Amino acid sequence: MTSARELTDQRQGGVIRQNQLVSEDAWQVVRLDEDGNLTSYQQPALLPLAEWQALVAAGEGSDHLAPWLASDTELTPELGKALVDAPLLAVDFPNFNDGRGYTIARLMRERFGYQGEIRAIGDVLVDQLHYMSRCGISAFALRDDQYVEDALHALSSFSVSYQTGVDQKTPLFARR
Amino acid sequence: MYRYDTYDQTLVDERVAQFKDQMDRYLAGRLGDEEFRPLRLQNGLYIQRHAPMLRIAIPYGMLSAVQLRAMAAISRRYDRSYGHFTTRQNLQLNWPKLEDVPAILAELAQVEMHAIQTSGNCIRNTTTDQFAGIAEDETVDPRPWCELIRQWSTLHPEFAYLPRKFKIAVTGASADRAAIQVHDIGIRLNRADDGSVKATILAGGGLGRTPMVGDIVREDLDWQHLLTYLDAIVRVYNQWGRRDNKYKARIKILVKALGIEEFRRRVEEEWAHLKDGPETLTDSAVTKATSYFPEPERREVSAEAIEAYEALRRENRAFARFVTNNVVGHKVPGYKAVTLSLKRRELAPGDVTADQMDAVADLAEQYGFGELRVTHEQNLVLSDVPVDELETLWKALEELGMANPTVGTLADMICCPGGDFCSLANAKSIPIAQALQDRFEDLDFLYDLGPLDLNISGCMNACGHHHVGNIGILGVDKKGQEFYQVSLGGRSDDNATLGKILGPSFNAEDMPNVIDKVLQVYVEQRLEDEVFVDTYHRIGMKPFKERVYA
Ligand code: HEM
Ligand code: SF4
């Protein structure tokens, strides 16, 4: 058992990518307001899927616009293929108990071959980052009250896994 | 029995360190109650009525003497020197201190044990037939397959936040002793003509507030595809299971809402992508898993020894009673499986003291190659006892209070912890079990009644499987007072059926009389050799109702 680490008191949100806190990340998550309208935004922006699709269909897509996927998004083959060209994909966790985003991320990586960044947004818990990363989520937007050091620690909790994931293509039974 | 290699041990050790860190952060106030909740639950830690409760995993009910001794030591050091075996083949500690749990997990890890996924909305401990590997009616030993499922499901990254808990049970025998029809997924293994293993997969069974019997999703699945098929089912459930209402979140509600055809269609569609993928099982994976469950080196039991045993059975009535009820046949002549009864007046059903654990560990080493099984009826089993050692074992069990010759009878009741421990309970259940044990202690009467499952739950969560008891008792709450509802006709065998409610509920004091009247009707109406549940299904509820509410 590893010895207990020292817990310092540096709360800080931010985006974690490749085991590091990214100091500059301008992507803004845009949600609909209570009346179902888009709040105003500046690019780069993560838009609700339907709004992003509409812009792309109108020829107004750009490298600074990307969709976020609600947890109940049904990844039909058409949608999966359409998303492959997005500059960034965010998966929303409306609350941390909603595990649908794990399947969405995995399908985007394994079935539709998405190569770009998949970012977890919403109610993302530090202690979930390990599972998320195994499902192919490569960046994590932390809340401002979360501890980056805890998040980085959580990402390195395990050195072994039994089953396949986006990080490990061969199950342990075939590697032993 | 399965033994950890460095991979398994590393994973469990890392899990212990992870949980210690989570607990430190929780106690330091940097992890809130809500955020800590799923983390502690997935490590078996509940906050209960009097204290925390820790549920320790016993994968598919297999336990070594060394492990049992370690649990005895843990229960002495961190708890009140006893433990409780559950209907899902696990062991619960009722009084640990929250802060001690990381240390308990570290001690468990030293004997290849853990509490991973014993609670929470994830894939739980896989359960199986307590006679796996030795049953006369078995065609496939389910243990290697359970082990492969254990590995696949342990810390599965995609399925740790399912809509609800998820339970898998496996059988490889012709008689179902694992209650596969009342699990989220039930797996029946059998052998094709060419000797290869095939699986029938059921989904959507379960008890709780909306009890249901599972439906067949797939028949004759080739063994290679077992894990990819499970992946497909759980993935469909993860995507489509209801998340708006926790009472409608189990897979059974999804199967029911979609209908089995549409559910099957979605699973097959998902599976088409996963089939032949990396999780496809290989010969070497199965051979390796199988190698952990070798035939023990059983000495030959001579024909004379078998004859002497038969003679003893004829001569010694007490011994004969024990054998008839608590001992079952074995695929190897001269060997038997012995059920150690954890049902006696002094302790709640399923409870064992630390001293008993130590003593049973010794017996397992002496008589059973150092191995034990936990049954879903909350008993223990020694699976490999030569008949010429049965008598001495029996005497040792008598001293331990574990030779009650009542296995399979009314007195062998399943009972949840109920209002004495559980914060969800509507009523107590342990005192009802004890009152019934007091009332129906006459062995001749119990034997005359024959096989009878009586199951008690303290609330509709149904931890005591009351729906599938031939007689089920459910604690209900009416204006803050405890009452009990009786159901009849349930069964969890091959013809799994949910019991029907007899009528208005009763006071605790009335329960022995009520059950007595139910039994009277049976005794009067039964045909020769007809068991209780068959009589009930033949004559229906009416005569029982008339007598009980007369
Ligand atoms: C004392 C702590 C316990 C708590 C808080 C607890 C909680 C629950 C809850 C909430 C459910 C309902 C799940 C659903 O909605 O379907 C449930 C079901 C169940 N529990 Fe427990 N339980 C406890 C102890 C036990 C024990 C001691 C056993 C075994 C003796 C057990 C075995 C089961 C079983 C077999 C089910 C039925 C599962 C199904 O739906 O198929 N539980 N429990
Ligand atoms: S049936 Fe109810 S009272 Fe009994 S253990 Fe389960 S949740 Fe608690």
Please give the ipTM for the structure prediction: 0.96
Ramachandran quadrant class, B189 (left: phi over 0; alpha: psi -120 to 50; beta: rest): beta
Q: Which residues contact A46 (CB under 8 A, 6 or more apart)?
A: A27, A28, A29, A30, A66, A67, A68, A88, A90, A119, A121
Task: Report residue A24's pLDDT band, with 50, 70 and 90 as the boundaries.
Answer: confident
- The answer to whether the Cβ–Cβ distance between A159 and B10 falls below 8 Å is yes
- Secondary structure of chain A in the HEC alphabet? CCCCCCCCCCECCEEEECCEEECCCCCEECCECCCCCECCCCCCEEEEHHHHHHHHHCCCCCCCEEEEECCCCCCCHHHHHHHCCCCEEEEEECCCCCCHHHHHHHHHHHCCCCCCEEEEEECCCHHHHHHHHHCCCCEEEECCCCEHHHHHHHHCCCCCCCCCECCECCCHHHHC
Strand partners, B158: none
CA B272 to chain CA mean position, Å: 33
- The answer to whether the Cβ–Cβ distance between A96 and B38 falls below 8 Å is yes
Is B402:B342 a contact under the CB 8 Å cutoff? yes
Lowest mean pLDDT among A71-75, B371-375, B418-422: B418-422
| Chain B interface, best mutation among A6, A102, A112, by max B CB count within 10 A | A102
Arithmetic mean of pLDDT, B392-413: 97
Q: What percent of chain A is modeled with pLDDT above 90? A: 81
End-to-end Cα, chain A, rounded Å: 23
Counting ligands in written order, which one lies closest to the CA of residue B473?
2
Q: Which residues line ligand 1 (CB under 6 A)?
A: B 46, 48, 53, 86-88, 92, 167, 182, 206-208, 250, 416-417, 421-422, 424, 461-463, 465
Strand partners, B482: B477
Tokens read off for B85: 């075996």
Under 8 Å CB pairs connecting chains A and B tally to 124
3-class state of residue B472 by DSSP: strand
| Dist CA A64 CA A88 (whole Å) | 9
Over residues B263-317, the pLDDT tens digits come to: 999 999 999 999 999 999 999 999 999 999 999 999 999 999 999 999 999 999 9
Report the predicted TM-score, pTM, of the whole model to 2 decimal places.
0.95
Q: Which amino acid is it at B149? A: I
Strand partners, B371: B64
Mean pLDDT over all residues of chain B? 96
Tokens read off for A91: 């998966």
- The answer to whether the Cβ–Cβ distance between B157 and A173 falls below 8 Å is no
Task: Report residue B477's pLDDT band, with 50, 70 and 90 as the boundaries.
Answer: very high
**DSSP for residue B13:** H
Q: What percent of chain B is modeled with pLDDT above 70? A: 100
Arithmetic mean of pLDDT, B360-386: 96
Tokens read off for B391: 């008598």
Tokens read off for B166: 């998820």
Arithmetic mean of pLDDT, B11-32: 95
User: Which strands make up the sheet holding B371-374, listed edge to edge?
Assistant: B62-64, B371-374, B380-386, B335-340, B327-328
On chain A, the residues whose CB falls within 8 A of the CB of B5 are 176
Helix B303-315 × helix B317-326 angle, to 10°: 110
Q: Is the pLDDT of residue A2 over 60?
A: no
How far, in Å, are B242, B253, B315 from residue A120 at the CA level?
22, 29, 73
Over residues A77-115, the pLDDT tens digits come to: 999 999 999 999 999 999 999 999 999 999 999 999 999
Q: Which of A3, A91, A107 is nearest to B231 (CA)?
A: A107
Confidence at residue A3, expressed as pLDDT on a 0 to 100 scale = 53
Q: Which of B11, B154, B157 is closest, CB to CB, to A131?
A: B157
Over residues B158-211, the pLDDT tens digits come to: 999 999 999 999 999 999 999 999 999 999 999 999 999 999 999 999 999 999
> Tokens 């925390």, residue?
B52
- The answer to whether the Cβ–Cβ distance between B155 and A162 falls below 8 Å is yes
Tell me which residue has its CA closest to atom 7 in ligand 1: B461
B157 prior amide bond cis, ω within 30: no
| Dist CA B537 CA B541 (whole Å) | 8
Over residues B29-67, the pLDDT tens digits come to: 999 999 999 999 999 999 877 789 999 999 999 999 999
- The answer to whether the Cβ–Cβ distance between A1 and B162 falls below 8 Å is no
Over residues B513-525, the pLDDT tens digits come to: 999 999 999 999 9
Ligand 2 closest atom vs CA B423: 8
